Chain A
Amino acid sequence: MTADLLQQRYSLHNRWTEWRADAAQSLFLVAVAIVFLGLLLVVLDPVWARIFAPSAPWARMRVALVLALLLAIGIAFTGRRRALQLARMQAADWLAAMPIQPELRARFRRQKVLGQLALVSAGVLALSAWGIVRAGFGVTAVVLLILAGIAAGLLLNLRSAWVVGADAAPSDTQRALAAAVAIRPGTAGLALLGAAIEPGLARLSRSARWVAFVLMLLPVGIPLAAVAVMVLLFGVLGLSFDLIRHWRERYAIDQRWLAAQPLPPRRLLAAYLPRLVRRTLPLTVIASACVLAMGAPAWFTLVVAGAHLWLMAHALLCSYATRGSPRGFMLLLALHYLALIGSLQVLPLALPLLAAGCLWHAWRRGEGLR
């Protein structure tokens, strides 16, 4: 067995042992995941008939062909991008100076990328199959065409020259973006922590996949102006997601190196707030403007703005609440979302109160941590 495969096997084995050692928490996580999945299925079930109706705009053969082509290209480039990331990691990891044949390391990269892509594709396949069954097999041929696109993308990743030839050297663009994180002269004290958060521009490449995904979903015949607005809206949401993710990375790093300092946790959290607010507000304004431009009434625009700000604040406070065990972040987020979705189904009027309660709960939990 090659060194990379052996390392992966050991790592999986250790994780499995860890899960078994904490059976109660593992079972709870699995239960939450199943409830989420169940909820998703319940929400999706009545929609399938509309999505997979033969009269749906995307169900025309020519449109489906374009969609399949886009999927094939998207999967192929995602694979190459992932292979490049892995190649860079391997070029600097602890085995980099070991006498391992480059072909073996490249084969491991290819297998790993293919495995991940195949897993996602299998999920898409299962969802599509279920949708077709529920909708009555009206668009089977079109769906098969789209699945052929997925298969073509995967096959392209099987070609060694595509992923094995990936160059491990960082590109000039990445160097330029890395250099773009400049801290203004004169910035001092804890404000330096907030100043180290990358500008949105550096995350555009990561947010681009959201925009590409939205482009693929847009029905034919939609006016060009609306396409632009949708792309802008989802670009903004992608940037919001990446902003929080990036901040969480920085927060974890800063927490580690400042752990021994007599710094109250709430002061550390407050250090990032001015910069985060300054980066979030334009995103909220643009998202609201997009919604308004699409013809939504003013009250709905305000709801969207409020929801965007709530999502950002909630993610921030949940990170604060789970700073001692970052793995609990997703769990807390999921529990709160589950409660909100439940409230939306049963008692929509209580939603604002519950939303505020979630923020309060996360804050109190964060304050209670020592």
Chain B
Amino acid sequence: MSTSPLLLVEALQLTLGTLPVLRGVDLTLERGQLLGLIGPNGSGKTSLIRTLTGLLPATQGRVLIDGVDMHVDPLRARRQLGFAPDPGALPGALTGRQCLSVAAAARGLGDIPADSIALAERLGALPWIDRRVEFYSLGTRQKLAILVGLIGRPPLLILDEVMNGLDPISSHELKLELVERCAREECGVILATHGLEIAATLLTDAALLVDGSIRHRWASEELDRWRHADPSAFERAVVAALRGDVGAGRT
């Protein structure tokens, strides 16, 4: 196994046109960590995720996945990466099973792995799997996007707002699945979310992204302490950090 961190992001900058979106992001993630990426709307979460997955070219800085530079060898880097696509981008003309089959082919797997079908059953997506995606509800599309991202058990999972639209059972099952995979140190997860309540049950780490840079990172010990003492403390800490930032911006 490689000794380098699962994900290493150094001084990552992104400019779209003349607009600076990411202003020097530094981030590390190890196997077993479930990092919540938190931030206000427009803070750059989705742009950061798209840059980490190589969908947007970084203006400066680098992204190393298991020691492989995304810019230098995107193919090798992406073999270590599972990314749940935007549910709206899934091909409407295909059935869920066909989508999974295409995703399996893209990962070089012979057929849809049995654990993907098992996960589809746990998420409640199995009854829909042989229907065309264009007839899916938002929640069912989201489930399929998650299954596409998790297919082949890649070591790094990047998930952007995947809890949106999920019903309580599938949301619970997804959390269990992610926690199990992290507990076995099989993978590390970056989860961009606005739902601070999941920090109390799910996250091992959290990072606050404001105005294109990481303003604060809460370590697992800190989250653990709050989790046991006061579950709402994390939400208060995030709000305080954000308000402090707004105040600093005014002065």
Contacts and interface: CB of A to CB of B under 8 A. Distances in A.
Contacts of A100: 75, 106
Contact of A10 (B76, B79, B98, B108): B98
A2 B104 CA distance: 10
Interface in A92-123: 92-102
A86 to B, nearest CB: 15
Identify the interface centre among B78, B79, B106: most chain A CB within 10 Å of its CB: B106
Contact of A92 (B55, B91, B101, B145): B55
A10 B85 CA distance: 19
Given A2-B105, A97-B81, A98-B106, A11 B94 contact: yes
Contact of B106 (A10, A14, A15, A99): A99
B49 to A, nearest CB: 10
Contacts of A188: none
A97 B83 contact: yes
Interface in B210-240: none
A206 B98 CA distance: 35
Contacts of B98: 7, 10, 14
B85 A97 contact: yes
A204 B145 CA distance: 38
Nearest to B98: A10
A1 B53 contact: no
B86 interface: yes
B103 A3 contact: yes
Contacts of A97: 53-55, 78, 81, 83, 85
Interface residues of A, number: 21
Nearest to A175: B17
A352 to B, nearest CB: 42
Given A93-B89, A99-B75, A99-B79, A3 B106 contact: yes
B153 to A, nearest CB: 13
Nearest to A91: B55
A97 B89 CA distance: 12
The interface size bin for chain B is 20 to 34
Nearest to B78: A99
Contact of A7 (B75, B89, B91): B91
A94 B90 contact: yes
A92 B78 contact: no
Contacts of A42: none
Contacts of B86: 94
Contact of B89 (A14, A15, A92, A99): A92
Nearest to B87: A94
Interface in B51-108: 53-55, 74-76, 78-79, 81, 83, 85-86, 89-91, 93-95, 98-99, 101-103, 105-108
Contact of B107 (A7, A91, A99): A99
Identify the interface centre among A3, A10, A99, A102: most chain B CB within 10 Å of its CB: A99
B14 interface: no
A256 to B, nearest CB: 12
B93 A98 contact: no
A3 B83 contact: no
A225 interface: no
A6 interface: yes
Identify the interface centre among A6, A11, A93: most chain B CB within 10 Å of its CB: A6
Nearest to B94: A10
A10 B92 CA distance: 11
B194 interface: no
B107 A98 contact: yes
B55 A3 contact: no
B163 interface: no
Interface in A1-50: 1-3, 6-7, 10-11, 14-15
B102 A6 contact: yes
Contacts of A102: 74-75
Identify the interface centre among B81, B102, B108, B145: most chain A CB within 10 Å of its CB: B102
Identify the interface centre among A94, A96, A101: most chain B CB within 10 Å of its CB: A94
B132 interface: yes
B148 interface: yes
Given A1-B105, A7-B102, A97-B78, A14 B55 contact: no
16 contacts: A6-B105, A7-B91, A7-B98, A7-B102, A10-B94, A14-B93, A14-B132, A94-B86, A94-B99, A95-B102, A96-B55, A97-B81, A99-B78, A99-B79, A99-B106, A102-B74
Given A7-B91, A7-B98, A102-B75, 15 more contacts: A3-B102, A6-B102, A10-B95, A14-B93, A14-B94, A14-B132, A92-B55, A93-B89, A97-B83, A97-B85, A98-B103, A99-B75, A99-B81, A99-B107, A99-B108
Of all A-B residue pairs in the complex, the 6 with the closest CB atoms, nearest first, are A3-B106, A98-B106, A99-B78, A94-B85, A97-B83, A97-B53
Interface of A: 1-3, 6-7, 10-11, 14-15, 91-102
